[in-house]
Structure formats: C-alpha cells, structure tokens
C-alpha cells in the first residue's frame, strides 16, 4: 500500500495554490515551475479538483485557479479522493475475495481497519494546517539564517 504520485502531486499543488493565491488566481505554469510538476499533469489534476469543487478556474488575462473553499474546510482526504486516488491496504480492494478470489483472507479486517484509520487521519489534516506548517518552517529557516549571518559578521 502506498500513496501514488497522483495523490502527492495533487496535495502539493493545492498547498502551493493556497500559499501563493490569496485574492489573485495562480497559474498552473507557476505551480509547475515552483513544484517541478509537468504542466499537462497539473491540467489533468486540476480538471478533477475543479469537478469536485475544490478549485475554481478564472479565464482570461491574469487567469488561473483559486481555491473554491476556505482552507480550513479542505482536507487532505478531500484532495486525494478528488483525483481518484485509492487509499486501500487490502489485497482485494474491499471486495472481500482476497483468498483465491473467493473468500476473505485472515487479515482482511486488519487492513480494512488500517484503511479507516488512514482516511480518518487524512480527513483530519486540513489545508490550513499544511499552510501553517510551511509558515512555521519558513520562520525557523529565517531565524537560523539570521543567526548564521550575525555569527559571520561578528567573526
């Protein structure tokens, strides 16, 4: 079980949009450049995100994408689900035919419970949480750079 590139890129792109958007639309070309994600791949992802009303498109000069919902109302699970990313640790895809294609395996309930816990966790993490984490990280980096700069000036 793993989260594929599709889900990772969708979350990364939505975080970039949240951090660089605000009142003005963000272009996919900008996200592509900042995050090293192909533009054509982003176009596919944002088509799905738009259909799930997570983003809105703005046409014309100065156009791009904006968030369709408040940051605190968009979960990582919403994003991953919108791009059709399966979160399934079972071998059978939840069909309960893991053993020889006919019956449940002995560990089916274990993996099904893991699915529930993964979804529960990803649903609890909001886009606003990720933005706050990035802001805190940037602040720590800035403080370290300031300290190093002062130490170098003293030396």
Q: How does residue 96 score in pLDDT terms, banded at 50, 70 and 90?
A: confident
Residue 140's alpha-carbon distances to 34, 88, 145, in angstroms, are 21, 36, 9
Q: What is the CATH number of domain 5-86?
A: 1.10.10.10
pLDDT value, residue 146: 64
| Stated pTM of the model | 0.82
Q: Please tell me which residue, 95 or 30, carries the higher pLDDT value.
A: 30
Encode pLDDT of 51-87 as tens digits. 999 999 999 888 999 999 999 999 999 999 999 777 7
Hey, where are the domains in the chain?
5-86, 87-124
**Mean pLDDT over each residue of the chain, to the nearest integer:** 87
pLDDT (average), residues 109-113: 88
């Amino acid at each position: 079980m793993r989260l594929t590139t599709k889900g990772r890129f969708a979350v990364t792109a939505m975080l970039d949009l949240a951090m660089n958007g605000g009142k003005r639309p963000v272009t996919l070309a900008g996200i592509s450049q900042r995050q090293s994600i192909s533009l054509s791949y982003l176009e596919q992802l944002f088509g799905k995100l738009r259909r799930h009303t997570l983003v809105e498109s703005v046409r014309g000069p100065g156009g791009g994408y904006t968030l369709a919902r408040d940051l605190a109302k968009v979960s990582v699970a919403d994003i991953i689900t919108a791009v059709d990313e399966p979160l399934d640790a079972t071998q059978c895809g939840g069909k309960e035919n893991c053993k020889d294609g006919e019956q449940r395996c002995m560990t089916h309930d274990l993996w099904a419970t893991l699915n529930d816990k993964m979804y529960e966790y990803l649903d609890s993490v909001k886009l606003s949480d990720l933005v706050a984490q990035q802001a805190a990280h940037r602040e720590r980096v800035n403080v370290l750079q300031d300290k190093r700069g002062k130490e170098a000036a003293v030396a």
